[in-house]
Amino acid sequence: MRRGLAPHLVGARIAQAQTKRPDLRFPFPPRFAARLKGRRIEALTRRAKYLLAELDDGAVWVTHLGMTGRWSVAGLKQQPGDFYYAEPPNPAHTHVVIEMEKGVRLEFNDPRRFGYMDLIARDAFDAHPWFKDLGPEPLGNGFHAPYLAEAFAGKKANVKAALLDQRVVAGLGNIYVVEALHRAGIAPARAAGSVSKQRLEKLAPAIRAVLEEAIAAGGSTLSDYASVDGKQGGFQQRFRVYDREGEKCVTPNCGGVIKRAVHSGRSTFWCAKCQR
């Protein structure tokens, strides 16, 4: 989504901003729309699962999509990526509308309203409660097998839960953890502290590979999530284990069958034969 929005927003100025309700998951900050009006977006970045628009007044406009939040550019015709089409969003769930000076119209649609936004001073960003305890980015230089070995040392929690802990690594979600663990041959229920160095050497690059492939494919569409261009993500067509309960494992010469369990309300899929 960040990549899809950047060409339309970076360097552009906000002409008008409108909120159609007082809150999403949390209330909008005071004078939110008025504070956005007239601001130029200097950069569009990301930290964990947060989209960050750096404004010319020193504030960072933060968006968390929640489960079903989605930014879209109205009238976008040139669709990047290899996706398949989703149903158009219901206008009743469009809660924020941004008009850019050059005519681009940005809409935030969120049926469940689990998303949220804020304006945070750039010099206070790192100390903000949402960001101060986040772990390294999984695609950053600080994420590698030695880091995982240190982070997992002595942990009795299962390795899947450890990877979903945003304090261990920032931004990983359930689907991508499940897929990466399968590629690395690690059982999701194994205690994090018991994962061998050799398997961690496979896990770190497996996480990177899964994320890079998913971004290239446009993400993973479950239920009503879609990317900025209005199409569903395409990575779900390449799942090796997720949502494949009862199917044969795709690992060459494995012959195992994909199993499913629910941990903390989230579905876990794995092959009991090749994941140990």
Asked whether 98 and 248 are in contact (CB, 8 A), the reply is no
Asked whether 41 and 53 are in contact (CB, 8 A), the reply is yes
pLDDT at 236: 55
Angle, alpha carbons 217-73-79 (nearest 5°): 40
Range picked from 63-72, 207-216, 249-258 for highest mean pLDDT: 249-258
CA distance 272 to 276: 7
Which one-letter DSSP state was computed for residue 121? E
pLDDT at 229: 55
pLDDT at 58 over 70: yes
Statement to judge: residues 161 and 110 lie in one domain: no
CATH code for the domain of 75: 3.20.190.10
Residue 276 lies in a domain: no
Statement to judge: residues 150 and 261 lie in one domain: yes
User: Range of 79's domain?
Assistant: 2-124
Q: Which pTM value belongs to this model?
A: 0.84
Q: Which helix (H) or strand (E) holds 59?
A: strand 59-64
CA distance 138 to 144: 8
Token representation of residue 18? 């409108």
Residue 114 lies in a domain: yes
Residue 137 lies in a domain: no
- Last residue of some domain: 124, 158, 173? 124
